Structure 1
Amino acid sequence: MLSLIVSNPLFGVVLTLGVYFAAQKLQEKTNFALLNPLLISSIFIIILLSVTNIDYDSFNKGGSFLTMLIGPATVALAIPLYKNLALLKKHYRVILVSTLSGVIAHAILIGLFTFILNLSPEMIATMIPKSVTTAIAIDISNQLGGITTLTISVVIVTGILGAALAPILNKFFKINNPIAQGLALGTSAHAVGTSKAVEMGEMEGTMSSLALIITGITTVLLAPVTQAIIHSLYF
């Protein structure tokens, strides 16, 4: 009976969506940032597949349909950019400087990780797109020769930590400007950070959305350069 259910392509789709929405309800009730639906649903599905001995390929027959939506989701990022074009023009200096600073800071951090943890070239390529949204991170990881599945995990963890730590860091460093708060979340914690920014306010959410998109574009352009510099320093 189980084999018949698992062999149906709908199995992966229904399981993924069902677990995700359940995890979303859990976070809404607890209001605990670390109970992020992406993290909880991923952990639950991994445990379920392991306990029931369901192989990943069977699960991914339906899950691949959801993966196909990553391409359209990437293109759809242009919509908020277009809608907020006036705001982008008004604050373009702050937005560009903030996002570029964030991308450079991420690159320096990867360099430090390489030195401290003695990362392999493959792991460097895996880590470089850690702070951009999954849709973009997958393509960057593929192009650089990284481990795509591991990149997705790193991206999720980065986003969750960024969203969870943002309120604490804002309070500690007395960052009260909504533009600064939004740009920081979008630059460092991609879509997960943007969802947190939306909760904080309209301006925070808008600026985070813009930062998310521009950070993704900038990272795509600078990722090969970052990889080349780190390789020249350590290999």
Structure 2
Amino acid sequence: MPLKELAERRNILHRKSGAETILKHALDDVQIGRVAMVSSFGAESVVLLHMVSQIAPDTPILFLDTEMLFPETLTYQREVAELLGLTDVRVIRPSRAKLLESDVDSILHTIDPDACCSLRKTQPLEEALAEFDGWITGRKRAHGGARAQLPLYEKQDRKIKVNPLASWDTTQIASYLDKHDLPRHPLVARGFTSIGCTPCTTKVAAGEDPRAGRWRGMEKSECGIHIVDGKVIRRENAA
């Protein structure tokens, strides 16, 4: 079955399903194939990680360490993985040879942020995902911009992406965290509502879009991992 048709059929099938049901079916869906979860271990990541730990704790979890992350994120990643009993967390890093060739001084983000994201995130993830047929993300429509119309299932390149929390809002996230007594990322209490690399992440003021602190002052709003029609999303055409 063509992947676009498969995604459309799954969207119809699960239009009224809860996140746990969508997640469980995605992990067992023979038509999709082998699936991994990609997690930033960021501000809201622990919700989906907890769901995975309750359904299949041996699910491959791909964590992109760009080598420019906040120290708090690295500590949080280790603590959450241990707390939840996740047994196959794979820390993905950029190629050492490519870093020496293209960003030896770690200043590429100041010159060409798209190239930096490609080098430190997109390329390493593509390589890590090569053995999988689909992947699970924690994206939500509440993030706004290009994510406002986010489907539960979508086709990207030759893989199926699954977004079990697409319809969740901040109230549902907070409720789940409280219900299961899950640890918050330590930077959330300091005003970071979306957490990426240190040079390209700032605090978010009250009333701002949750992702306003990512690449602040730039037209850029996505790193390139999540693509629409083959293009990295820009702020001016994100709505």
Please confirm whether the aligned pair reaches a TM-score higher than 0.5, indicating the same fold: no
TM-score by length of 2: 0.26
> Which entry has the higher C-alpha Rg, 1 or 2?
1
Q: Considering fraction of residues, name the structure with more strand.
A: 2
With the length of structure 1 as denominator, give the TM-score of the two structures. Answer: 0.27
Q: Specify which structure has the higher proportion of helix.
A: 1
